[in-house]
Amino acid sequence: MIEFKNVVKQYPNGFRAVDDLNLLVPEGEICVLIGPSGCGKTTSMRMINRLISITSGEILIDGQPNTELPAEELRRQIGYAIQQIGLLPHMTIADNIALVPRLLHWDENRIRRRVDELLELVGLDPDISRDKYPRQLSGGQQQRVGVARALGADPPIMLMDEPFGAVDPITREVLQAEFLQIQERVGKTIIFVTHDIDEAIKMGDRIAIMRDGHLVQYDTPDTILAHP
């Protein structure tokens, strides 16, 4: 469970990107965060895993303020996938996916098994992909690797910031459907940022609509469609 309580983020230049945000994401649900560019979606995500600090208020992870969790614990609990993918170009696909498990000191046999399992989960053939470099894969394949990497150490929480934003519409639909299948099997607590209302309705158990740094509506897709 992830809970934002009166969260404010004021950047050093004085701009309040997030302004009194309250949001509760129950365990095992996909919460889609949607809203115009600049409304504070990415800022909110980055505060959860402490890539940026919170100005005031708090973010609770399973009831505990995230500021009290050691960095390694945050890494274990939270996977992060972003539109820019961010695969390291000089590392193989396997090494990219193994990043967090290695930081968590998994042994190499377990890491190898996990990499192959994840490649299969996201629909890539491990024997073909494992030793390639990111530039040798298509954009859609790289996006799959980005999701596999975020799932690396099997975190109970996933933050997904337009994870399928960099691919063509057809690949995007395939990735959405596959991701929902994965979610049915693994049941994680997910915050999923998108600009695309169709994607929001398809992916979300609930949809959180943000504007100017706070929530303006938070409901199931059905309710939002009925009362837009």
Binding flag, residue 211, ligand ADP (CB under 6 A):
no
Q: Choose which of 15, 108, 113, 131 interacts with ligand ADP (CB under 6 A).
A: 15
Looking at 10-18, 102-110, 127-135, 200-208, which segment touches ligand ADP (CB under 6 A)? 10-18
Give the residue with the Cβ less far from ligand ADP, 101 or 165. Answer: 165
Q: Choose which of 43, 66, 92, 141 interacts with ligand ADP (CB under 6 A).
A: 43
Give the residue with the Cβ less far from ligand ADP, 195 or 202. Answer: 195
Q: What is the DSSP letter of 167?
A: S
The answer to whether the Cα torsion of 45, 79, 84, 144 is positive or negative is negative
d(CA 171, CA 177): 10
Binding flag, residue 41, ligand ADP (CB under 6 A):
yes
d(CA 6, CA 123): 40
Q: Choose which of 38, 86, 139, 187 interacts with ligand ADP (CB under 6 A).
A: 38
Phi, psi dihedrals of residue 30, rounded to the nearest 5°:
-100, 115
1 Cβ neighbours under 8 A, 6+ residues apart: 24, 25, 26, 27, 60, 61, 62, 63, 189
- Residues engaged in binding ligand ADP (CB under 6 A): 11, 13, 15, 17, 35, 37-43
